[in-house]
Amino acid sequence: MKGPVAGFFQTDTGTAELIPDGDNPNGWLLMLNGVQSSHVDLADPLRLEFEYMRWIVALVEDRWPSTEKLSTLSLGGAACSMPRYLVAAYPNSRNVVVEIDGKLANYVRDWFELPRAPLLKIRVGEAREVTESLTEASRDLVIRDVFAGSKTPFALTTAEFTAAAKKVLSPGGVYVVNCGDSPALATARREAATIAAAFEHTIIIADPPMLKGRRSGNVIIAGSDAPLGNGAGLPRTLLGGAMPAQLWDDGKVRQFGRSAVVLTDAEPQ
């Protein structure tokens, strides 16, 4: 099968549904086990429908020029919307996607005509196992966007896993996580505390209602051994989007997570 076809498809981990975008003849929405997972515009890889992905690329583009020879690792593939964007925005980049569902990875390659290796390589495997197997200082950017239903698997949130991700980063590299949370923000606080304990510099990006605890949604947390989001450029970009977002600097991130306990493998589940 080549090209996207609307319908339901059995995968190794459940069910995928592919839905045409009624507002865009080139757009497709991928649902995984009933949850919105990805959106792809076949005609424009630089179009990202999900706002949290726009926030991540705003951070990336604030950090590196388009000529940079980035080496990226995306944990959680789904439709590969983000890696597909990075290939288009950074033509000299090399991007590896880790996707646990091999059947889904095959579908996605057929449906969306993804760039081939070495521009974009899909590695089927469990995200933590793959991350821990990688060469030290081999990636400039690690993005964790892994969900089982509405939650990130606990093993990908702990201090031990964060240390493994940090070890893979080159000097000045950036670790970015998409944290899904409820209005209480308990998960985001603990993730912020965990990432702040591992990295010298941190930031948070989210929309104001989310940060004020008024709704459920996405909180982007990033860590690096080099400063993040310095200057007015990134905050200005984030405020100019369809869903304006705030940038919290390192001090505010540490204050936000100060009362939270760092996540560890030893914690009972």
Dist. CA 176–CA 199, nearest whole Å = 12
What pLDDT is stored for residue 150 in this prediction?
A: 82
119: tokens are: 């521009």
pLDDT in tens, 194-238: 999 999 999 999 999 999 999 999 999 999 999 999 888 999 999
Mean pLDDT of the 247-265 span: 98
Domain residue extents for the chain: 46-257
In the predicted structure, residue 1 carries a pLDDT above the cut 60: no
pLDDT in tens, 152-172: 999 999 999 999 999 999 999
Dist. CA 40–CA 61, nearest whole Å = 20
Dist. CA 269–CA 263, nearest whole Å = 11
Residue 167 falls in which region: left (phi positive, over 0), alpha (psi -120 to 50) or beta? alpha
Dist. CA 145–CA 57, nearest whole Å = 13
Give the phi and the psi of residue 20 in degrees, each rounded to 5: -65, 145
Mean pLDDT of the 106-113 span: 94
Mean pLDDT of the 37-50 span: 96
- 46-257 CATH: 3.40.50.150
CA torsion 9-10-15-18 (nearest 10°) is: -10
The chain-wide mean pLDDT, for the chain, equals: 96
Mean pLDDT of the 135-157 span: 96
- For the entire predicted model, the pTM comes to 0.97
Mean pLDDT of the 111-127 span: 96
